[in-house]
Structure 1
Amino acid sequence: MSIIQLENGKFLIIDTIEMNDKLRKEIDQLTNNGQKIEAVIAAHPFHTLFFPSFYQAYPNASYYGTPRHLRKITNIPWKGDFTDCNIRKKWEPEVKLRIPAVNFKISFFHFKIFKFCVFAGIFVDACEIGILRLKIGAEFINPLPESSNHFISVFVYHPYSKTLHVDDTIMYTEDPGWILRLIGYKRGTLFFHPSMDSDGLHPTAAAPYLFRDWMKNMLNDWKFDNICTAHIGVKIGGAHEAVTTLLEKTEPVFAKLSEENKKKNPDGILPDGMHPNTNVKDDKCV
């Protein structure tokens, strides 16, 4: 869970954790017994367990989630989900939100002769031939299988503190447990969620590279220094450089996944139940 104070003095709660008396007292003191909580953001489709109890404690805040939150937790009166561009933009420029590897582009080709454009053999003052291209990298609306595909989440960036909040898509551990050490993770390791190698990305040849390119754009636009990840770690300082290095080291994995997907799915067709999200253009709302 992360807590961001806005310029208006109110607070955003990003994800929830199990409440205890100590935490409840701290949040009450910070937010005037919840009166200053402007909104609660559910950023990861599968982080659902503690939202009902948090809502019982703070029912007057506005709650926003992923499509899965709205489907699964029906006792919370959600204000909307993050496929809605206006909700993602709601707290800009103070807080910025993006959904990884979901892009929508329209390309226009212009054919001009002198001051005119020619289309179908006819001279007109202006014309555009548009080609619609969907760029799809990962499933956000209905991630399947539910038992393992916990890869995609909403990235939340707070420029003032230079902090990036990421649930599961990127993970960090300062002191890995024995299971993580057993599979090769060392102290201070930053890594992508293991489901990226199996179900996390769409099963197309393009998907791994779309996610990689989305990450590159994010790194170019967001100059964070700290990263807050779910479950096991917060990295203070040096996070931008560390994520950049992680992305570079993962290039062979992207190439391998792309080649495997190309063999299994040469036509790049999305299986039933997966969604091309179409309200994002180069990470910006359309």
Structure 2
Amino acid sequence: MSFIKLSSGKFVLLSTVQLDAQAKREIHDLTQGGELIEAIIGTNPFHTLAFEQFYTLYPNAAYYGTPRHLRKFKEIPWAGCVTDPSVLSRWTPDLALELTQGGEFDDPQPESTNHFAGVVAIHVPSKTMIVDDCFRVSRNPGFIERGIFGRRDMEVSFHWSLYNDALYKTPGAVQTFYDWVIHLTKAYDFDNMSTAHGGILLGGAKTELLLGLEKAKDALKKMAVANGGDLVC
């Protein structure tokens, strides 16, 4: 979960987690009892376990969710869906929001494993990219990660589901995903990355993302060819 402080002094919260008593006190102090919480955004269709608790605690915030959030929690008066371009651009220039491209976002299947697609957020003032499942940081990689996958400490790679169910099985899906990652590196000035898998990378995040994409290129090309397409880099 991330707290984004806007230039207005209010906060946008990305995703939600279950809160214990200490976390509630910290949020209370940070946001003046919730008065400074402008919006709470569901950034991944399957990160859903704490939205009901948050709505009970902070009913005056505006809630924005993925299509799956809107279907799953009808008791929350959602202010909008993150697939709406006006929602994605609502907090610019402080916060940029992008949807993962090349795979299913509305109703990913199978639900047990395909959690790849989500909202990637870039907090412009701090040059920080915040991402759930599609990108990951290898923090202190173990023997298997180092030996089999050649992972370095603080290396940026992709969630394993990229090579299984994440992308559409269509000729152009891999190219669409590849081009989207390149777009992120060209459109935004980010240097840090905060991920749900692996932790936080301070410095060099854009370089590491490009290195991770280069490392994955051969596997992505094979996927594209297997689905009747190709990958042009």
TM-score class normalised by the smaller sequence? over 0.9
Q: Distance in 1 between matches of 2:142 and 2:26?
A: 29
Partner of 1:17: 17
Which residue, 79, 97, 107 being the options, matches 1:142? 107
- Relative to structure 1, the CA distance from residue 232 to residue 59 in structure 2 (aligned partners, 3 Å threshold; closer, same or farther) is farther
Partner of 1:53: 53
Which residue, 223, 235, 247 being the options, matches 2:201? 235
* 2:154 is the counterpart of 1:188: yes
- Aligned-partner SS, 1:157: strand
Partner of 2:222: 256
Deviations 1:168-221 (A, max 9, x none): 010113234677568544532321111110110010121111100111011101
Paired residues, number: 228
Partner of 2:93: 93
Partner of 2:188: 222
Matched residue type, 1:153: G
- Aligned-partner SS, 1:172: strand
Matched residue type, 1:87: V
Q: Distance in 2 between matches of 1:179 and 1:76?
A: 42
Q: Distance in 1 between matches of 2:10 and 2:114?
A: 34
**What stretches of structure 2 of length at least 5 have no aligned partner?**
none
Partner of 1:107: none
CA RMSD across the alignment: 1.7
Larger deviation, residues 231-240 vs 160-169 = 231-240
Matched residue type, 1:164: M
Q: Distance in 1 between matches of 2:144 and 2:48?
A: 24
Partner of 2:80: 80
Matched residue type, 2:158: F
Q: Distance in 2 between matches of 1:177 and 1:205?
A: 35
**What stretches of structure 1 of length at least 5 have no aligned partner?**
102-136, 264-286
Deviations 1:19-59 (A, max 9, x none): 11221111111100101000001110111111111222211
- Could you tell me the percent identity over the aligned residues? 42
Partner of 1:202: 168
* Structure number having the greater strand percentage: 1
Q: Distance in 2 between matches of 1:79 and 1:60?
A: 11
Q: Distance in 1 between matches of 2:203 and 2:15?
A: 22
User: Given that residues 155 and 208 in structure 2 are in contact (C-alpha distance below 8 angstroms), is that contact kept between their aligned partners in structure 1?
Assistant: no
Deviations 1:45-81 (A, max 9, x none): 1111111112222111111011011111222211111
Q: Distance in 2 between matches of 1:218 and 1:244?
A: 10
TM-score normalized with structure 1 length: 0.76
